[in-house]
Amino acid sequence: MTTLLDGDQVAIRRKVRSLISRPEFAYLYGVSTNEYRERVLERVQILADAGIGSLSFPVDVGGSGDMAAFVAAFETSAYGDLSVLIKIGVQFGLFGGSILQLGTERHHKTYLPRVGTLDLPGCFAMTETGHGSNVYDLETVAKYDSDSDEFSINTPNKSARKDYIGNAALHGRLAAVFAQLEVKGQNQGVHALLVPIRDGDGNPCKGVGIEDCGEKLGLNGVDNGRIWFDDVRVPRENLLDRFGRVSADGDYESPIASPAKRFFTMLGVVSLARKESLRLLCSTIGPTKDV
């Protein structure tokens, strides 16, 4: 019956069930939140070492190019610790997926091998304190400085803080930050940029503020955090530019002329993993108004 229910992903589902049956994945009692978070990170590392994190990434960057297998592995991990499920979704689905879907070949080759092995823990920094689900009007600004060939990332007010971001409180070192892109005084709409938030020693980078959001009901192993930026500088190449780029001359270019169509195209290609995470979590823990 199990084989029948596993459908055409029998092998990967069996592999994940075997992994999450190991002693390292046993339920923990009486441990602190910080210890639990570190154990969850260790569990995700075990899955990454087994190749689970790279399943959906292209073969030429160490992956398998198999999105169906990744979704099956993600689903099957829900039989274990739900904090592990969410951390998988954040690291490989949202963070890695944004690089895969919004970036170009140079981003794929530079980042995805390290994302898939968990050598580079990251964040998907879209949600802000004040905007709710209104991504179109989020307030974080990425302003292009032609003199330095860099973007300046800024949080103009408290409502623009990136809020409840998975991996932000402790483990994330690089974030895919969604911001209003300003080039030559003109707003080109929401784009994603790769922004370092911690150095190699785990300390916040210059201009980056980080705050722990604390325990999360039923998911205390996930280190959700709040992030804000004060003139954080990143090179022009850190713009994930599949759908919109800034040239060496400082001109904005896009294959999609309509700003509205460009926005919904970008949002559409990164939303599938997010929706799948919420669907699986809700189906596992029952009806909820807020996850």
pLDDT tens per residue, range 118-150: 999 999 999 999 976 788 899 999 999 999 999
Looking at the structure, do residues 103 and 129 belong to the same domain, yes or no?
Answer: no
**What tens digit of pLDDT does each residue of 251-260 get?**
999 888 888 8
Domain identity same for 23 and 108: yes
Which residues constitute the domain of residue 217?
A: 122-258
Kindly indicate the confidence band of residue 7, based on its pLDDT and cuts at 50, 70 and 90: confident
Query: Which pLDDT belongs to residue 249?
Result: 87
**Domains held by the chain: number:** 2
Pair 104, 163 in one domain: no
Residue 198 in any domain: the answer is: yes
Q: Are residues 49 and 87 in the same domain?
A: yes
Asked, for residue 159, whether it belongs to a domain, the answer is yes
| 69 lies in the same domain as 84 | yes
Q: What is the pLDDT of residue 289?
A: 39
Within a domain: residue 263?
Answer: no
Angle at 133 (CA atoms; ends 130, 135), nearest 5 degrees: 85
Q: Are residues 171 and 219 in the same domain?
A: yes
48 located within any domain: yes
Give yes or no: residues 63 and 109 share one domain.
yes
CATH code at position 156: 2.40.110.10
Q: Are residues 21 and 105 in the same domain?
A: yes
Residue 291 belongs to some domain of the structure: no
* Tally of CB atoms within 10 A around 229: 28
The answer as to whether 264 is a domain residue is no
pLDDT at residue 28 is higher than 50: yes
E strand map for 102-249: 122-125, 141-145, 150-154, 162-165, 174-183, 186-196, 208-212, 225-229, 232-235, 245-246
Q: Is residue 75 part of a domain?
A: yes
CB burial readout 92-130, b (16+ within 10 A) else e: bbbbbbbbbbbbeeebbeebbbbbbebebbbbbbbbbbe
Mark whether 130 and 237 lie in a shared domain. yes
Instruction: Kindly state the helix (H) or strand (E) to which residue 252 belongs, with its residue range.
Output: strand 252-253
Instruction: Based on the fold, state whether residues 211 and 127 are members of the same structural domain.
Output: yes
Share of the chain above pLDDT 90, in %: 78
pTM of the entire predicted model: 0.90
In a domain, 290, yes or no: no
Whichever domain contains 72, its CATH number is: 1.10.540.10
> What residue has token string 């994940």?
16
Go through the chain and tell me how many residues it has: 291
10 Å CB burial of residue 224 (0-12, 13-18, 19+) is buried
